[in-house]
Amino acid sequence: MDAAFFTAWMTRTALGVAAARDELTRLDAAIGDADHGTNLDRGFTAVREALATPPATPREVLTTAGTTLIRKVGGASGPLYGTALRQMAARLPATAEVTLADLADALTAGADGVRRLGGAAEGDKTMVDALAPAARALAAAAGSGATTEEALDAALRAAEEGARATIPLQARKGRASYLGERSVGHMDPGAASTTLILAALRTACAE
């Protein structure tokens, strides 16, 4: 996997977020402040612009993308996703190509970074509920000799399941936690967007 692959991941994410913008905002309207779709659309549009001049390494792609999200997104999700991508970059070797095992290590570091910054554990009804199982599934698949496609499928399925599992939960972090029991019965918007980001990774792999 080279810089072009990681750039394709970010481009696919931008397209996926743009297409799902209203749906993400609708989810955030139910348990937040109705801006998750617009926040991420603004952020990933800026990421695409920042990557118009292609960086040389996967590490540079993710550093640029993460820094751009932190700069451009005012909501909680900007610093959280920005940190995830920057932590992923820091974990990757500074080479032109990285392996599936490198990617799995990096996603684990990204999930750890989000947990550290946001203070959320799994079950708190946040993006961590999709991201942490996805990282575990990717690491397990990479460690068991799966192909890249199989490993990314497994990560996507884990993210989808994690996002679905946020529906009956009561939020303990972020704006949704202000609603108490009224946060029950809705999917967490950040867990939904994490699923989109993992779907974009799977799509980039098929290109």
Instruction: Compute the distance between CA of residue 11 and CA of residue 27 in angstroms, rounded to an integer.
Output: 23
Q: Are 6 and 62 in contact (CB under 8 A)?
A: yes
32 close to 192: Cβ distance less than 8 angstroms: no
Over the window 169 to 198, marking each residue x when it contacts ligand ADP by CB under 6 A and - when it does not, the resulting string is: ----xxx------------xxxx-------
Q: Of 8, 12, 28, 163, which one interacts with Mg ion (CB under 5 A)? A: 28
Q: Is 128 near ligand ADP (CB under 6 A)?
A: yes
Task: Give CA–CA dist 12/129, Å, rounded.
Answer: 22
Vertex 112: Cα angle to 64 and 134 (nearest 5): 90
List the one residue out of 124, 113, 112 whose CA is nearest residue 165. Answer: 124
CB 183 within 8 A of CB 31: yes
> Is 33 an interacting residue with respect to Mg ion (CB under 5 A)?
yes
Q: Which of the stretches 71-79, 87-95, 105-113, 127-135 binds Mg ion when contact is defined by CB under 5 A?
A: 71-79
Q: Which of 8, 62, 80, 156 binds ligand ADP (CB under 6 A)?
A: 80
- For residue 25, state whether it binds ligand ADP (rule: CB under 6 A): no
Q: Does 66 bind ligand ADP (CB under 6 A)?
A: no
Q: Tell me how crowded residue 149 is: count the other CB atoms within 10 A of its CB.
A: 11
User: Is 84 among the residues that bind ligand ADP (CB under 6 A)?
Assistant: no
Report, in Å, the least distance between residue 77 CB and Mg ion.
7
Question: Which residues bind to Mg ion, rule: CB under 5 A?
Answer: 28, 32-33, 35-36, 75
Question: Which residues bind to ligand ADP, rule: CB under 6 A?
Answer: 28, 32-33, 35-36, 39, 75-77, 80, 114, 118-120, 126-128, 173-175, 188-191
